[in-house]
Structure 1
Amino acid sequence: MSANSPGSSDVLEQVCIHTVAPEAAIVDKDGLFPDRSLKALAGAGLLGALSAPDVGGLGLGVRGAAAIVSRLAQDCGSTAMVVCMHFCGAAVLEAYGPAPIRRAAASGAHLSTLAFSEAGSRSHFWAPVGTVRPDGDHVVLDARKSWVTSASKASAYVWSSQPLRPADGALSTLWLVPADTPGIRIEGAFDGLGLRGNDSSPVAAEGARVPASAMIGEDGKGFAIMMETVLPLFNVLTAACSVGIMEAAVQRTARHASGVRYAHLGSTLADLPTVRSYIARMRIKTDMARALLDDTIAALEHRRGDAMLRVLSCKAAAGEAATEVLETAMRVCGGVAFRKDLAVERYFRDAHAAGVMAPTTDVLYDFIGKAVCGLPLF
């Protein structure tokens, strides 16, 4: 099945219409994890988008995964972000994990996520301060992870630590840490501004003991996995989430403008040139972000020399564009936009999350500037 096959897209559309969209408002209002949507996606096989067919996955690649996340974001940003992080974790497991875990991730029985960001290194997620020490045929982890999506719902975390055996230039090592490992503690429920159902909470490890065989890849090679496997996928999928949010905003704003009438004038909001101009700008910004996202995916697929620059640019551009598009949507829809029924204010809040998710927009701008100027990124 290809990324653009009618089968996968039709199944996704049905899941969105019948489950994701009806659940979205309550997920946001009550900060609920989108359990029903995740179960529907798993049942449809869509959580295995990046997993290989030999373990029951769809093998759709980054393009197929981005299409799924973007479509989900049109209805529910929280669901889209949970799936984004599952895909990132599943991609690591697909490259380095054992077949049973890969098979479970493909089926959705294993919900994956990343545990990289720490208060001590903030948006520099590639440089963990959390430690690991040997203990016989096990290791012991100690860390304070600042934000982990699906913190209380994930089956296991793709967890970063300092290297087990420090070596020159080695920044990190990755581990597969089951969420129910003794010593792992979720430090409070998530109650955020946007993406309220994504269960993004701090997670602490205090003497958390896991088998040494839980190491993902080689000791000290976590940075390489982050840069080669995680960063391109995470940036693309986060950009896809932003594009989906923008697309929803354009559609809802245009529908509102065409439907609201001035009774005494016999005209609609859309009859005003200024309103049409605002909506046109929203459409253009959305299309520009989508075009850059598509070109980024093409650069990765064809291993173009500018692929990393595109990877850095697409998340920053889409995140910035999303905040602008949603600000315009709020302006066009006026007082109605502050009500929950139009959902524009929900998309407005969700859109702002991309800028603060590491690598943050400001960090990306620094990286892009370095790349353009021919300077090393790290």
Structure 2
Amino acid sequence: MGKYRFETDEHSMFRDSLRKFLEKEAQPYYDNWEKERMIPISFWRKLGEMGFLCPQVDEEYGGLGLDFSFGVIINEELERVGTSLVGVGLHNDIVVPYIESFGSDEQKKRWLPGCITADVITGIAMTEPGTGSDLANVQTTAIRDGDHYIVNGQKTFITNGINGNLFLVVVKTDPKAEPKHRGISLLVVEEGTPGFTKGRKLDKVGLHAQDTAELFFEDARVPVANLLGEEGKGFSYLMEKLQQERLVVAIGAQIASEDMLEMTIDYVTSRKAFGKPVSSFQNTQFKIAEMATKVELGKSFLESLIEDHIAGKDVVTKVSMAKYWLTETARDISVECMQLYGGYGYMEEYKIARRYRDIPVASIYAGTNEIMKVIIAKNLGL
């Protein structure tokens, strides 16, 4: 696909250097990471050395002070390698911005430099075994006791749960608050905190190299100095930041669709059946034409959204549309492409098989597509 309208020569150079880096440091090892069910921390450190971790952070904390457009390029190029690299985008564009926006100067000095070098790898702990999309009903409590909060509860499906050592945890600091969302706060919990333990690495259908885990808090003592922003403001902070999280997921889905279309065109033009290329059959041509149209429409919609988001506009409704439509489109495309590959599409050595496994979860995480439709309907005044 073509470049975005906002891409300058600086963006192109950034993309080229990142692509070359990934060709050398990620692509040759990716299959192995999938087998080992882990992306090594050494790879995170190399990303940091090259300036690909949190480039948006202010220079005073060690960042490059770049805008989100560079984050878009990082997310795209990582997705081209494989979806198991989503933990990097989560760290760069989802968790660290909370520290940048709501952290005190002291907290920023403490955590941000490490986020840029991979000495600190972050995760966000929202989901619980009994609470997914219904954030106001989280059960994990943080009760003030002098200079500490005593945290009790359990979180699950936490991206970067194994490699991570700094977690933004959604807690109830006031379990009796009415309405419930007023009792929610954000607490930063560091690995090694007494009473905080990590559970097993969860075994997933796809995203095999991505470390997803459970987190447990049993009378965990977290310093009050680790409260992010104000007590009771957690819910509004989440609402403010979820737009970017959902945009990141939409970008990944779009790139997955582009990648699948590209590889399938290559495959059907080289593969023969009944003595001629599979691409010469009208059914193949129609399927490819339909998918190419969806990819093109998705790209245009996404580009306008990214531009609006960088300009600071409130595009929650459209982002919800993009997150829902692009992830479902990617899922449809994975099914169609696998079919066009025939039996080979079901073989692990072909990348389409991995795409087919990796894509469905994008309809679930960062707010399910059902929740996206609820948001869209509400904002349309229904």
**What SS is found at the alignment partner of 2:209?**
coil
The amino acid across from 2:66 in the alignment is L
**What SS is found at the alignment partner of 1:187?**
strand
State how far apart, in whole Å, the 1-side matches of 2:308 and 2:230 are: 28
Q: What corresponds to 1:350 in structure 2?
A: 358
List alignment gaps of at least 5 residues for structure 1.
none
Selected match of 2:73 from 47, 51, 67: 67
Q: What corresponds to 2:3 in structure 1?
A: none
Q: What corresponds to 2:4 in structure 1?
A: none
State how far apart, in whole Å, the 1-side matches of 2:311 and 2:176 are: 35
State how far apart, in whole Å, the 2-side matches of 1:59 and 1:291 are: 27
1:25 paired with 2:31, answer yes
Alignment of 1:173-188 (within 5 A): 173-188=185-200
Q: Is the 8 A contact 2:157 2:202 kept in 1?
A: no
Q: Is the 8 A contact 2:174 2:183 kept in 1?
A: no
Q: Is the 8 A contact 1:67 1:240 kept in 2?
A: no
Q: Is the 8 A contact 2:249 2:366 kept in 1?
A: no
Could you say if the C-alpha distance between residues 237 and 18 of structure 1 is closer, same or farther in structure 2, counting changes exceeding 3 Å?
same
The amino acid across from 2:146 in the alignment is G
Alignment of 1:42-121 (within 5 A): 42-79=48-85, 81-87=86-92, 88-95=94-101, 96=103, 97-121=107-131
State how far apart, in whole Å, the 1-side matches of 2:122 and 2:24 are: 24
State how far apart, in whole Å, the 2-side matches of 1:11 and 1:86 are: 20
State how far apart, in whole Å, the 1-side matches of 2:110 and 2:335 are: 46
**Residue deviations 1:68-111, cap 9 Å, x none?**
112211111111x1112102111111121422311211233211
Could you say if the C-alpha distance between residues 314 and 60 of structure 1 is closer, same or farther in structure 2, counting changes exceeding 3 Å?
farther
**Residue deviations 1:277-334, cap 9 Å, x none?**
21222222222222222222222233445x1112211211111111011111111111
Q: Is the 8 A contact 1:141 1:209 kept in 2?
A: yes
- Greater shift, 296-305 or 63-72, is seen at 296-305
CA deviation after TM superposition for structure 1 residue 166, in Å? 5.6
Q: Percent identity?
A: 22
Could you say if the C-alpha distance between residues 7 and 155 of structure 1 is closer, same or farther in structure 2, counting changes exceeding 3 Å?
farther
The amino acid across from 2:133 in the alignment is S
Q: Is the 8 A contact 1:3 1:61 kept in 2?
A: no
**Residue deviations 1:337-376, cap 9 Å, x none?**
111221101011111111111410111111111111x25x
CA deviation after TM superposition for structure 1 residue 221, in Å? 0.5
Q: Is the 8 A contact 2:183 2:232 kept in 1?
A: yes
1:239 paired with 2:243, answer no
What is the TM-score normalised by the length of structure 2?
Answer: 0.91
**What SS is found at the alignment partner of 1:353?**
helix
What is the TM-score normalised by the length of structure 1?
Answer: 0.92
- Greater shift, 46-55 or 35-44, is seen at 35-44
Q: What corresponds to 1:336 in structure 2?
A: 344
Q: What corresponds to 1:248 in structure 2?
A: 259
Q: What corresponds to 2:132 in structure 1?
A: 122
Could you say if the C-alpha distance between residues 317 and 36 of structure 1 is closer, same or farther in structure 2, counting changes exceeding 3 Å?
farther
Q: What corresponds to 1:281 in structure 2?
A: 290
**What SS is found at the alignment partner of 1:186?**
strand
1:200 paired with 2:212, answer yes
1:10 paired with 2:22, answer no
**What SS is found at the alignment partner of 2:192?**
coil
Q: Is the 8 A contact 1:175 1:216 kept in 2?
A: yes
State how far apart, in whole Å, the 1-side matches of 2:68 and 2:280 are: 41
CA deviation after TM superposition for structure 1 residue 28, in Å? 2.3
**What SS is found at the alignment partner of 2:150?**
strand
Q: Is the 8 A contact 1:316 1:364 kept in 2?
A: yes
Alignment of 1:294-313 (within 5 A): 294-304=303-313, 307-313=315-321
- Greater shift, 12-21 or 26-35, is seen at 26-35
Selected match of 2:173 from 156, 160, 163: 163
Q: Is the 8 A contact 2:144 2:173 kept in 1?
A: no
CA deviation after TM superposition for structure 1 residue 24, in Å? 2.1
1:325 paired with 2:333, answer yes
Could you say if the C-alpha distance between residues 4 and 221 of structure 1 is closer, same or farther in structure 2, counting changes exceeding 3 Å?
farther
CA deviation after TM superposition for structure 1 residue 131, in Å? 0.4
1:143 paired with 2:123, answer no
State how far apart, in whole Å, the 2-side matches of 1:295 and 1:189 are: 38
Q: What corresponds to 1:260 in structure 2?
A: 271
Could you say if the C-alpha distance between residues 187 and 168 of structure 1 is closer, same or farther in structure 2, counting changes exceeding 3 Å?
same
Could you say if the C-alpha distance between residues 156 and 270 of structure 1 is closer, same or farther in structure 2, counting changes exceeding 3 Å?
same
**What SS is found at the alignment partner of 1:72?**
helix
State how far apart, in whole Å, the 2-side matches of 1:234 and 1:272 are: 40
CA deviation after TM superposition for structure 1 residue 224, in Å? 1.3
Q: Is the 8 A contact 2:45 2:117 kept in 1?
A: no
The amino acid across from 1:370 in the alignment is K
**What SS is found at the alignment partner of 2:216?**
strand
The amino acid across from 2:245 in the alignment is F
**Root mean square deviation of aligned Cα:** 2.0
Selected match of 1:314 from 317, 322, 327: 322
Q: Is the 8 A contact 2:140 2:151 kept in 1?
A: yes
Q: Is the 8 A contact 2:321 2:372 kept in 1?
A: yes
The amino acid across from 2:217 in the alignment is A
Could you say if the C-alpha distance between residues 126 and 326 of structure 1 is closer, same or farther in structure 2, counting changes exceeding 3 Å?
farther
**Residue deviations 1:207-241, cap 9 Å, x none?**
11111010000000011111112x01110111111
